[in-house]
Every structure is written in C-alpha cells, then in structure tokens.
Amino acid sequence: MGISAKIIADSINPMGNRLTTFLVEFPRIVLAELNTHRSLSKNSASSRAIPFEKMLEMVITNPFIPIRFQKEHKGMQGTEYYEDKEHEQCVEDWLNARDAAVHSASNFEHPVTKQLRNRLLEPFMWHRVIITATDFENFFALRAHQDAEIHIADLAYKMLEEYNKSEPKKLQPGEWHIPFGDKLDEKKAWNDIVNETYIQPNSPLWNEHYKDWRLKVSIARCARISYNNFEGKDNYHTDIKLCDRLFGNVPRHLSPTEHVAQALDKSEKIGNFIGWKQYRYFFTDQNLKDNRVINKLC
C-alpha cells in the first residue's frame, strides 16, 4: 500500500455539474487535514472496526514511513530535508518507534478493546477512504500546492491528475451515480438473491425489496470501507442485507449513502452537492432529533 488515487465513478448531469468518487490511500497521519474539507463526502477505514491482529500485521509488514524527513523548523512548513545516511537514520528511528508502539499495543496486562489498542498503531498506518464531491477545486488549490504537508500534497497531485484524465459519464435527470456500479452484474445479482431468498425476479416481493439493488450494493460496499474490505464477499444478497441494516438501525447510519446520488435537472445545492441529490436526502428523518436537548427561547 502507498499513496494512491483511483476514480471509481465519474458522472456529469446536463447542467454540467460533475460528481466524482475516488478511492484513495494515504498515511493515517494526514486524515485530520483531509477531514477539514467539508464539501467532500467521505467514508473511511475505522480503527474501531478493524481487528487488532489485522492492524498489527499491517504495521509490521507494510508500515507507513515518511517520504522525507524535514529538519526541525519554525512555523508550519519546513524546506530542508535530511538526505542519504541521515535520511536512513531517520527511517531507522521511525521504525524503532513503530516497534515500541507494537510492543506497547500487544502487551496490555488485561484484555483491552481493539479500538484503544489500534490507536497506538495509527501513526504507522496506511489509510483508505472513499471520497465523493461535486467541487474539488478548493481542495486541489490548497493541497496540490508546494506549501501543503508533503504527504497530503502527494495525494492531492495524484487526485488532480486522475480528475483531469477522467471523462465523466453523461447522466440524465433521474439517473444515478453509483460507485463500483460498472462492476455490478445483473445476472449474478438475480442468482445470488434467488439462491438466498427464493424470491423470483420481477415478482412483487422482488420489486418491493430489491428493485434498487444496484444502489444498495454500492452503499454496502462504500460502508465496508470502515473495516478495509469494500469488496465484501462478492455476494449481492449479503450486500443488500448490510444496506438494510444501515437503514433499519436506530439511529440510522447514512454516511455511506452520500456517495450514491441522483442527477437533477438544475444546479441546485442539496447538502454538500450541487446538481445531485444524495440517497440520504430521500429519507425524511435523515437528521435525528434528540428530546434530551433543551431548546432555548429568545
């Protein structure tokens, strides 16, 4: 794993509003900087969800090591870097710190939850995120820049290159932007669902529960990024059941639905997208209320 960017869905509506979904990988240490960009919808691998043994194996076999080591400096951004043998010594010191973190995370006297032990390994982790947005220009202007932190800059430059090379698919109003959609096989979906449920395609039950199967499979695979396995078991019925659980849980878990969106016939802003309506906005109760909150009157 390393710093990489791949477009997994790219669409444009008749108004010229472009919607693009990336699958990116980068060092976990710059996630906070990525998360400052509020126009981007994101689903991310979770230290709470990934088994500790898997995290441990990843930081041992493929740890994040900084591209370069800046010399100590004032302010946000330095310009001088260690080279040659000094760089090699920095790498050795970094890996010694990794080894210490591995030892500490592995040697709690009592069995402590993965979501705490995994946190000790995060500085040495690679991270995977699905990002969808109609406006990347502010992100590119700030991060694909010589003054940006070098690792998020590397990511932003790679995303910008992919963005400029990609040709978005033209969609009409009412049609859907579906990440991973080009890999979905209708015949396989029918076989998976029929084998699991015995519901025949085009029956009333099929239309009631599975007419939006492409959207649900896409949403489930976006959700699986939280435990670093967005491809799942390649069983569409399993994907649909996961999606239904996200919808049916109290509270609902709707962030993965932000990557699937319907083309509009006008450049209206809904949520953080322009010209597109995210799946989550088809739920009237997508923003929860809490009766424990005391409303203050003017």
114 in the same domain as 189: no
Whether residues 27 and 141 share a domain: the answer is yes
Which pLDDT value is given to residue 205? 64
For residue 81, the domain's CATH number is 3.30.1360.170
Q: Which residues pair with 6 in a beta bridge?
A: 23
Distance CA 181, CA 171 (A): 13
Work out the average pLDDT over 257-282. Answer: 96
Q: Is residue 292 part of a domain?
A: no
Same domain, 151 and 206: no
Which range marks the domain in which residue 121 is found? 4-170
CB 167: neighbour CB atoms within 10 A?
Answer: 7
Is residue 35 domain-shared with residue 69, that is, in the same domain? yes
> 188 and 157: one domain?
no
Whether residues 120 and 222 fall in one domain = no
Same domain, 110 and 193: no
Q: Radius of gyration of the chain from Cα atoms?
A: 22
Lowest-confidence segment of 52-66, 92-106, 240-254, 267-281 by average pLDDT: 240-254
How many domains, the chain? Answer: 2
Tell me, yes or no, whether 120 and 254 share the same domain.
no
Q: Is 141 within a domain?
A: yes
Residue 291 lies in a domain: no
pLDDT over 80 at 166, yes or no: yes
**CB–CB of 148/142 below 8 Å?**
yes
Q: Are 71 and 78 in contact (CB under 8 A)?
A: yes
Q: Average per-residue pLDDT in the chain?
A: 89
CA separation, residue 122 to residues 2, 53, 114, 278 (Å):
15, 14, 12, 31
Statement to judge: residues 205 and 273 lie in one domain? yes
Q: Note whether residue 295 is domain-resident.
A: no
Mark whether 55 and 123 lie in a shared domain. Answer: yes
For 1-5, 134-138, 157-161, 258-262, which range has the lowest pLDDT when averaged over its residues?
1-5
Question: Does 296 fall in a domain?
Answer: no
- Domain membership of residue 290 (yes or no) is no
Residue 43 confidence (pLDDT) above 60: yes
Q: Would residue 297 count as lying in a domain? A: no
Higher pLDDT, 235 or 243: 243
Start-to-end Cα distance in the chain: 54
Same domain, 199 and 151: no
pLDDT 10s digits, 21-37 = 999 999 999 999 999 99
Together in a domain, 166 and 193:
no
Report if residue 158 sits inside a domain. Answer: yes
Point out the domain boundary residue: 116, 142, 170: 170
Whether the per-residue pLDDT at 229 is higher than 60: the answer is no
